[in-house]
Structure 1
Amino acid sequence: MFSQPMILTVERISMQRIDTSCRLPIGVATMKSRPSFVAFSILFVVILSMLVLSGCQFIWDSSTDPNPVSPETQRPTARSNPLQELSFVQLLDTVHVQLQEAERGQIQRTILDWQRGLSDDHNRLLSPNFVRGASGIVLEFLDSPSTAIKQASRLTTVNEHEVNSLAILQAYLCTWNHDCENAIKFLATVPAQISQESEDRARRLWQIIRGTCAYRQLDVHDLGERSNEDHWWSLATMLSNSHTPSELHQSYREWRENYPDHLAAKFAPTIVAGTQPRIDQIALLLPQTGPLASAARTIRDGFLSAHLHSNYASDINIEVYDSSLQEITSLIERIIAEGADLIVGPLDKERVATVLAEPTYEVPVLALNRTILDNLSHPDIMQLGLAVEDDAVEVVRYLHSIDLRRVVLIMGAEYWSIRSGLAFKESAKNSLDLLDEIQLANMSQVADVVADVLHVTQSTARHEKISSIVGRDSLEFVTRRREDIDAIVTFVERDEFASLAATLHYYFGGDIPILATETSFRGLERTSTYSEGALFTAMPVTLHEFSFFEQLKVTYPDVEQHLALYAFGADAYRASMWSYDLRRGHQITGYTGILQQDSRGVIHRQPIWGIIKDRKISSLHNLSRLTNRPKSLL
């Protein structure tokens, strides 16, 4: 690191300091003579005598000090870092929360700051090698999930505490990788050492099965009650099949009586074991005439069918009102006077806006649509809608989580496509790099649009220009596309998507991940080979079989054609029954997705993810199957 002249300079300075006097200021020459031993002795005695005579002056009298300072506070304090107080498992909990909304760089800084704050007595029950190796695996996951999972399987442990911490680490890695089965397996099979560990482990397991993993047991598990792991999946079945809190509470009580020693029987969240205010009468406000009448009838049938499917249908009275015949605020006042405990509706946005403009109501209101204006929100009025904006936001969240940042957006000319595109851009403006944005006017544009987006047109033009310059038409030439696109997001109809997928393969872009919505595949039993590997957001009822909808198909032959509206009606019933928990920020499982209310009263829907595999529509099991390209995930 140092040059030879610098080294020689340092040596000369060091020798000169040796040759100067120790009694005079540094640099005063002494003709290279050195003090004798006697001089040193005399100087030492003088200094020692002065210290002895004046030593009492250095005794601190705290009684006379106006601002006494304890010995502990006299020490220099290090910069406060709350991350240093976290154990390794608490760090995993923190990262799990950040992965839902924080940027990748922020998560990396959290882990690195925590590592820098480690000390010998930090995580005393875990060896330093284990702590640093395990936290390094979390960092590795941000770049390569599959590599991190393999490293975790090879991590060695020296005591039971490390075994437990490793199981929690592996469970979180699987959860972040959407591998629900192994996440449950790791947490359910490792015994906890103390009661607090048992409660924390139960909390993490409940957290897994209350999310999108609740749907996985519908098509991948035979619930034979054979193991501790199977018990958790049976609880997930209760969550996805229960239409009302009373139904869930009763099912849980019966399950707990059969398995009193199970961890879930000892520790349960309030949404499972708690109570809710009683609802005796519901008013359902839907238009029976006008342009929304047909959709309203389907929503009504889904709502009432979900009610009749419940075990407690006889305990609640539901009255249906025609919202198109009377001014909405007057109708609501009359309904409240008649004793309704909950109002569900209206459906059209204009009447929803009128309801939101009112200062307050004496009973809860669940509107069946939502506005996009913040000034028309009301924290006491819930807004449930089957909005395409929720799918667009989920696409952004997913791209962010798998670290695909440079994207191309392709929209169709339909109203829903434009709405989805606008929501996508608004949500992505601070986290993704939008390389290009295309709106298709008609199918004939697809080939030209894809060629331009992939820069194939420019590549061909360069070849033609060079050929004209050198005067040869037979130059060897291979068309090349641009390489900076991480993913392509499409909000298009299914015919447009099929054409886009085929054209991408033709122009050497078949390896670019494509993300879409289920609209691009609705009604298809098999897709083209060019759609293989495409990802799309979907309602759980589209990808999984629910016993309720199997029964519904017997009563209503048009369920397949209007599946979304039937599912929305059933979710409206669920949201009304779980309104108490929704208003407190809890999430519930619905047929259209995971439902959760924000501070404005808007109930957002988190869809699940599907993938085209072997030309068939199926659910996406984990992120490692996203693509064969060497891209960074999470």
Structure 2
Amino acid sequence: MIACLRLLSALCLAALLAACVSSPSSSLGELPRTPDASIEQLLDKAASSKSAEDAALLRLSAADLAFKQKDFPRSARILEQVPLDSLKPGQQVFASTLAAELAMSRNQPKAALTALAHPSLQRTGELPAEQQVRTYSVHAAALEADGQALAAAEQRVLLAPLLSGDAAKANNDAIWALVAALPAEQLQQPTSNATLGGWASLAFAVKSAGTLEQQQAAIDTWSKQNAGHPAAAQLPSALVKLKELASQPLTKIALLLPQEGPLAGVARALRDGFMAAHLQAQKDGQNPPAVQVFDSSRISSLDDFYRQAQAAGVQLVIGPLEKPLVKKLAAYPQLPITTLALNYADAGQKAPPQLFQFGLAAEDEAREVARRARADGMVRAVALVPSGEWGDRVLAAFRQDWQANGGTLLAAERIAPPVGLAQQIANLFQLRQSEGRAKSLQSAVGGNVAAQPSRRQDIDFIFLASTPQQAQQIKPTLNFQYAGDVPVYATSNLYSASGDVNQYNDMNGIRFCETPWLLDNSNSLRKQVVQQWPQAAGSLGRLYAMGVDAYSLAPRLGQLKALPDNRVEGLSGSLTVNPNQRIERQLPWAEFSGGQVKRLPDTPR
């Protein structure tokens, strides 16, 4: 009886294992199937198999089962035992796909793309739909992670006909996200895939339009001209959202700013910039929303304020400015009205979906310096920043962006008082070691040796965040310490917009990012504001520019959220919304040259 049971068990196991390896074959070869056997049983059977092909297929099944059980190291070890070149083409696609999936589990997109470069992948379209979905999906993910957005979109276009329902909708949204992020010039280049070309032309049409109404018209025109395209049959979710936004025009705004207290002066500049843009819209014949001003310095309850605003028909709140109030708003799970705060909550603080945050963040400028230096071919940096919390934030933002994109930060120093600045820079550039070597040489030869101290040569540039007064001391000190040829990239804090030629001469050669407001005197709205408030021509102009831009952002927040690649070309910078719904600024560049401020080409995007 026991012998019969053993025989029955053996027969059952054989049947289970046979389900993993089908006997019929074709030029592509049979693919592994999801087995009912365990990994150990599959490996035991492979070890005892007399057929090399069956053994390889059993190991492929075992490796795949380990991957599905998320035992990635074991899956990789088993896959290494499968001789890829001895497999038939379909099995090679299966093995290469699994190798790519394992590489992506280790966050190694280049290794995944190497696995997917096997010649057998050209026959993916001949395989069962399930395998095609798997191969195209990992290929798209690897290309996207490697920064190849258009190629990733092409893989998702190949994937699209194989999907239905929610999976098809998610894939459509993913294609849109990829093509919408491409620059306009790339969208205009011809593609070999007509469907992908249709996606690109849709993205270009939307990107070329400005207002919500213009974008809606562009989408409708494209849909009529491309009625058979998958995107015309099922618009991406982001474009559906745009249609909804276009049908809900903004008619009333609450401007929430303090009229008393330490921030009243800042609030006044923001308010004047905001209202100047509002009056300009009226003069241009637009139908701008009504604006009702509220005093945040008198608010005792945010809940009461929002109830009052709702009762008044407010659809959007601009403000508050005070950081404690912004932090309170960020702590709400939901807000009754969409709000554009004019300051930031703490970094990392989770905010409700109705809250956007906008300010003149120094962190934006630190990231802008990192972008610019990368574009100019720099690799190794040192940093000079002030002591204190502001300096800490600026340095942290620069360090994170710079190192995340392959840059090296060799050293970071807090700017010393004037009396210690020369010694600090000498230490930073290791000039004292050079002087010591010269003295040792003089001692060795027993006489005077003409030797000019030399600085360390591994510093490509200096990242500088400082006041104008500090910068006036730092640049001449660099010249004196034989480091005047080291490029200096700075944030806008060193620019006073005073027109002081002597001050500018002291900073000769320093490159810095700045708001368009202070670098472009030709803007007509700026001219009107400066004529009425002359202080707007100086460093306070940044606040007026922010007020103008808050007005420009008001009707476009939903648009920027739905289309993250869209920008508002503002007077405080080129504005986008990041995934945390914080407005980020990309700034133009200038250089002090001969006592003047010389505008530089913008950083490539």
Task: Give yes or no for TM over 0.5.
Answer: yes
- Separation in 2, partners of 1:592, 1:110: 42
Partner of 1:573: 551
Partner of 1:157: none
- Kindly indicate whether residue 316 of structure 2 is the aligned counterpart of residue 316 of structure 1: no
Corresponding letter in the other structure for 1:296: A
- Kindly indicate whether residue 418 of structure 2 is the aligned counterpart of residue 443 of structure 1: yes
Q: CA deviation at 1:206?
A: 6.8
Partner of 1:11: none
Relative to structure 1, the CA distance from residue 523 to residue 479 in structure 2 (aligned partners, 3 Å threshold; closer, same or farther) is same
Relative to structure 1, the CA distance from residue 114 to residue 595 in structure 2 (aligned partners, 3 Å threshold; closer, same or farther) is farther
Partner of 2:526: 549
Partner of 2:30: 73
- Separation in 1, partners of 2:111, 2:18: 42
Relative to structure 1, the CA distance from residue 424 to residue 583 in structure 2 (aligned partners, 3 Å threshold; closer, same or farther) is same
Q: Any idea what SS the aligned residue of 2:353 has? A: coil
Partner of 1:588: 567
Q: CA deviation at 1:557?
A: 2.7
Partner of 2:257: 286
For residues 165-196 of structure 1, give each alpha carbon's deviation from its aligned partner in whole angstroms, at most 9, with x where no partner exists: xxxxxxxxxx99xxx9xx95x986x7778855
Partner of 2:266: 295
Q: CA deviation at 1:110?
A: 7.4
Partner of 1:113: 114
Relative to structure 1, the CA distance from residue 66 to residue 521 in structure 2 (aligned partners, 3 Å threshold; closer, same or farther) is closer
Structure 1 contact 459–479 (Cα < 8 Å) conserved: yes
Q: Any idea what SS the aligned residue of 1:578 has? A: helix
Partner of 1:88: none
Q: CA deviation at 1:384?
A: 1.3
- Which of 287, 293, 300 aligns to 1:327? It is 300
The equivalences for 1:345-424 within 5 A come to 345-375=319-349, 377-400=351-374, 404-413=378-387, 416-424=390-398
- Separation in 2, partners of 1:511, 1:114: 46
Q: CA deviation at 1:272?
A: 13
Corresponding letter in the other structure for 2:524: S
For residues 473-499 of structure 1, give each alpha carbon's deviation from its aligned partner in whole angstroms, at most 9, with x where no partner exists: x12323211011122100012232233
- Identify the range of structure 1 (459-468 vs 364-373) with the bigger mean alpha-carbon deviation: 459-468
Relative to structure 1, the CA distance from residue 370 to residue 312 in structure 2 (aligned partners, 3 Å threshold; closer, same or farther) is farther
Structure 1 contact 271–581 (Cα < 8 Å) conserved: no
- Separation in 2, partners of 1:557, 1:66: 83
Q: CA deviation at 1:500?
A: 2.2
Relative to structure 1, the CA distance from residue 422 to residue 362 in structure 2 (aligned partners, 3 Å threshold; closer, same or farther) is same
Q: Any idea what SS the aligned residue of 1:374 has? A: coil
**Equivalenced residues, count:** 448
Relative to structure 1, the CA distance from residue 475 to residue 111 in structure 2 (aligned partners, 3 Å threshold; closer, same or farther) is farther
Q: CA deviation at 1:528?
A: 5.0
For residues 245-301 of structure 1, give each alpha carbon's deviation from its aligned partner in whole angstroms, at most 9, with x where no partner exists: 45x669x88xx9xxx9xxxxx999959985622222111111101111111111111
Structure 2: stretches of 5+ with no match in the other structure? 1-14, 32-87, 101-106, 124-146, 148-180, 226-231
Relative to structure 1, the CA distance from residue 518 to residue 110 in structure 2 (aligned partners, 3 Å threshold; closer, same or farther) is farther
What's the TM-score once normalised by structure 1's chain length?
0.60
Q: CA deviation at 1:565?
A: 0.6
Q: Any idea what SS the aligned residue of 1:434 has? A: strand
- Separation in 2, partners of 1:296, 1:531: 31
Q: CA deviation at 1:381?
A: 1.2
Relative to structure 1, the CA distance from residue 448 to residue 340 in structure 2 (aligned partners, 3 Å threshold; closer, same or farther) is same
- Kindly indicate whether residue 425 of structure 2 is the aligned counterpart of residue 425 of structure 1: no
Partner of 1:128: none
Relative to structure 1, the CA distance from residue 535 to residue 298 in structure 2 (aligned partners, 3 Å threshold; closer, same or farther) is same
Superposed CA RMSD: 4.5
For residues 51-96 of structure 1, give each alpha carbon's deviation from its aligned partner in whole angstroms, at most 9, with x where no partner exists: xxxxxxxxxxx9x965562423262414435999xxxxxxxxxxxx
Relative to structure 1, the CA distance from residue 83 to residue 605 in structure 2 (aligned partners, 3 Å threshold; closer, same or farther) is farther
- Which of 527, 531, 537 aligns to 2:513? It is 537
- Kindly indicate whether residue 543 of structure 2 is the aligned counterpart of residue 602 of structure 1: no
- Kindly indicate whether residue 471 of structure 2 is the aligned counterpart of residue 497 of structure 1: yes
For residues 510-569 of structure 1, give each alpha carbon's deviation from its aligned partner in whole angstroms, at most 9, with x where no partner exists: 332221012223315467567555432222333334333233333333321221111111
Relative to structure 1, the CA distance from residue 271 to residue 460 in structure 2 (aligned partners, 3 Å threshold; closer, same or farther) is farther
- Separation in 2, partners of 1:394, 1:118: 42
Relative to structure 1, the CA distance from residue 553 to residue 322 in structure 2 (aligned partners, 3 Å threshold; closer, same or farther) is same
Structure 1: stretches of 5+ with no match in the other structure? 1-61, 85-104, 123-141, 143-174, 211-234, 261-265, 624-633
- Separation in 1, partners of 2:390, 2:198: 45
Corresponding letter in the other structure for 1:381: L
- Identify the range of structure 1 (531-540 vs 361-370) with the bigger mean alpha-carbon deviation: 531-540
- Taking only the aligned residue pairs, the percentage that are identical comes to 25
Q: Any idea what SS the aligned residue of 2:580 has? A: coil
> 1 or 2, which has the higher helix percentage?
2
Relative to structure 1, the CA distance from residue 289 to residue 410 in structure 2 (aligned partners, 3 Å threshold; closer, same or farther) is same
What's the TM-score once normalised by structure 2's chain length?
0.62
- Separation in 1, partners of 2:576, 2:99: 29
- Identify the range of structure 1 (577-586 vs 291-300) with the bigger mean alpha-carbon deviation: 577-586
Q: CA deviation at 1:595?
A: 2.5
Structure of greater relative contact order (alpha carbons < 8 Å, 6+ residues apart): 1
